[in-house]
Amino acid sequence: MMGTDYTSSFDPQDIEANKGISLVAYILFFVPLLAVPASKFARFHANQGLIVFIIAVFCSIVQNIFWFGSWGFFNPFVAVIGVVQVALLACIVYGIINSLNGRAIELPIIGKFRILT
C-alpha cells in the first residue's frame, strides 16, 4: 500500500535545497526543524520521521515489558514487536530514498498521520 504523493504541492526550489537535510529526519526528526524551519519539504519528512520515532519508542517499551515474562522459549508479543520493528526499518529506508529523490510520499500505513503541520 503506497502512501499519497504530495511532491507537486511543494516548491521545487525548496525540495532541491533541502532534500539532503530531509533524509536526516528519519534518524533525528528534529534536526531539519532546527536547521531549516521554513522548509515545508523538510517539515513533511520531519513529520514522517517523528511518527516512526514514536512507534519505535512504543514498541521498545512494550518489548521491554513482555521480554521477561514467563513465556518460555517463544514470546508472541516480542515476536510481533520484532516484525513491527523490521517494518519500521523498511519505512526509514523508504523515507530516506524518497527524500533523496526529492519526493514527498507518505510512508505506507503510518504516513497519513500529521503531528507537525
Q: pLDDT per residue over 66-117, tens digit each?
A: 776 656 566 777 788 889 999 999 999 999 999 999 999 999 989 899 998 8
The predicted pLDDT at position 70 comes to: 58
Residue 62 has pLDDT above 70, yes or no: yes
pLDDT at 68: 66
* Residue 42 CA: distances (Å) to CA of 19, 51, 78, 87, 101: 7, 14, 34, 23, 13
Confidence check: pLDDT of 15 > 60: yes
